[in-house]
Structure 1
Amino acid sequence: MNDSALTTPTPSSLPVLSVEHFQKRYGDTVAVRDLSLSVEAGDIYGFIGHNGAGKTTLIRSIVGAQAIDGGRIRICGHDVARKPLQAKSALAYVPDNPDVYEFMTGMQYLTFMADIFRVPDDERTRRIGELAERLELTDALGDTVGTYSHGMRQKLVLIGALIHEPRLLVLDEPFVGLDPVASHELKAILHELAARGGAVFFSSHVLEVVEKLCNKVAIIRGGELLTSGTTEQVRGDSSLEDVFLELVEKEA
């Protein structure tokens, strides 16, 4: 695999992502209660739970899309609430249903993302070229996004997320809509990012992918963290699917 699309992030002894006693309410309903976890450099961290468990609520707060009602979230030491620009400059986010301006061409969108993160012209050209080739999107970059399939939009947004070489990549169901070749390539890209000292935090319903790809995992139910740790510790002698079902049924 070509690994030059991502360069080594600046080393740091701080966690790439630190969530401390996080809480979020919607009216009188507590969506997430007293949740703490830490994502270190080199981690590919899976975050799993049933629909409505609180996964997206936490992710939206991590990326600064909604306010935090309690606790603290820090990215590379930067408090998301107090230093949002510093925190956001170190991360990239790909939602489960990416919303992209349909009137733009793929290249215009990627140029727009590179401008936001002030990526130099020579660097953006190299990174776009390499990532588009790996995800087999090169031939479509001149087409408008309105003509793209869901899978093509997913690839485009992934390239846009990686263009500034984030320390933390946050993904919500990243493999939905991707063909097998693109899924395989994305897994390789995530491993490369982690090997360079970055980190990946992603939610998925596909537990087999989480089990094979992630070195750490957390399980949430009803807004509360049931367990977290290395994948081997959480899984034990069972499959991750068996552990997940057993924990969820026990808590229910």
Structure 2
Amino acid sequence: MSDEAQPPRMTAQTAMVPPPDPQAAVSIRALVKCYRGRPAVNALSLDIPRGSFYGIVGPNGAGKTTTLNMMTGLLMPDSGKVMILGRDVWSDVDTAKRVIGVMPQGDQIFDRLTGLQLLVYSGMLRRMPRSEALGRARDLLEAFDLTDAGGKRVCDYSSGMTKKICLATAMIHSPRLLVLDEPFESVDPVSSANLKDILAEYVDTGGTVVISSHVMALVERMCTHVAIIDHGLVRADGTVAQVAAGEDLEDRFLELVGGRHQAKRIAWLNGSGSEEDQETE
């Protein structure tokens, strides 16, 4: 039976958890993280195939960012296991991080550097010779339409430009796995299209991209696979077609996570104006 013909796999917390899959790009088993006694991630298990463009979606507070941080060695889990390309992340974090590219947020970079300086610095942190880092930085600036901004300080960039330079810092060491949290937020349509082309080409060369996003249409259009997370658990995962199950992905998402209700009418919110306004017209 082909992937497209198989039903989506519905995941529930069970007593018996299979071992991680060393062939997967990312294999997560029974991952747990609690804050003040409350689980943000609740025994979550997930396999992300190599060479996939994988979307992770869920409502606010579902545990997406916490999961990504534990997956990439940025946040230690309370329990559970994560393997990246067959390597246990938390038994050797430094080795795992060498094959991962994580897009930082705008407040996590040295924004007093110029775009070129920031990329060169990021490359040299990865133990690249300066000349190699400089060459790659210039290639990335051109690819991201930032060549003219390469000499400007990042703190003077627009929000969309900042998003692009953050993504470029994650790619400079040519990682095998890219992890991107809301990569297209605040990016204009033209730049967004260019970024999508770059990421699609990266996947075509054998790389794996994992993105979190709130934009269902983008995930449905770009991703090969998707996982829907809610309350720290995977509600469904598989190919986009499997999870959508013949529906629009957004409708399927709402069906699985719930929470949609009829909008409350606000009596004073009247687009035609108040009675007093109408009397004075």
**TM-score, normalised with respect to structure 1:** 0.90
**Bigger mean CA deviation after superposition, 194-203 or 207-216:** 194-203
- The residue number in structure 1 matching 2:199 is 190
Deviations 1:36-88 (A, max 9, x none): 11122210000000000000110111122211111101112221211000000
8 Å CA contact 2:217, 2:250 repeated in 1: yes
Tell me which structure has the larger Cα radius of gyration: 2
Closer, same or farther in 2 for the Cα pair 1:143/1:108, shift >3 Å?
A: same
CA displacement at 1:130 relative to structure 2: 2.4
Q: Residue 221 of structure 1 is aligned with which of 230, 234, 239?
A: 230
Kindly indicate whether residue 215 of structure 2 is the aligned counterpart of residue 202 of structure 1.
no
CA displacement at 1:97 relative to structure 2: 4.4
- The residue number in structure 1 matching 2:264 is none
Cα distance in 2, alignment partners of residues 115 and 95 from structure 1: 17
RMSD of aligned residue pairs (Cα, Å): 1.8
Closer, same or farther in 2 for the Cα pair 1:232/1:87, shift >3 Å?
A: same
Closer, same or farther in 2 for the Cα pair 1:126/1:102, shift >3 Å?
A: closer
Gaps of 5+ in 1: 1-12
Q: Secondary structure at the match of 1:226?
A: strand
Gaps of 5+ in 2: 1-21, 262-281
- The residue number in structure 2 matching 1:142 is 151
Q: Residue 110 of structure 2 is aligned with which of 101, 106, 111?
A: 101
CA displacement at 1:123 relative to structure 2: 3.7
**Bigger mean CA deviation after superposition, 145-154 or 116-125:** 116-125
Kindly indicate whether residue 75 of structure 2 is the aligned counterpart of residue 66 of structure 1.
yes
Deviations 1:193-228 (A, max 9, x none): 111111011100000000000000000111111000
Kindly indicate whether residue 247 of structure 2 is the aligned counterpart of residue 238 of structure 1.
yes
Aligned residues, how many? 240
8 Å CA contact 1:98, 1:157 repeated in 2: no
CA displacement at 1:122 relative to structure 2: 4.7
Cα distance in 2, alignment partners of residues 111 and 53 from structure 1: 35
Deviations 1:130-182 (A, max 9, x none): 22112110111111112111111111111111110011100110001111111
Kindly indicate whether residue 111 of structure 2 is the aligned counterpart of residue 110 of structure 1.
no
Cα distance in 2, alignment partners of residues 126 and 165 from structure 1: 13
Cα distance in 2, alignment partners of residues 97 and 51 from structure 1: 20
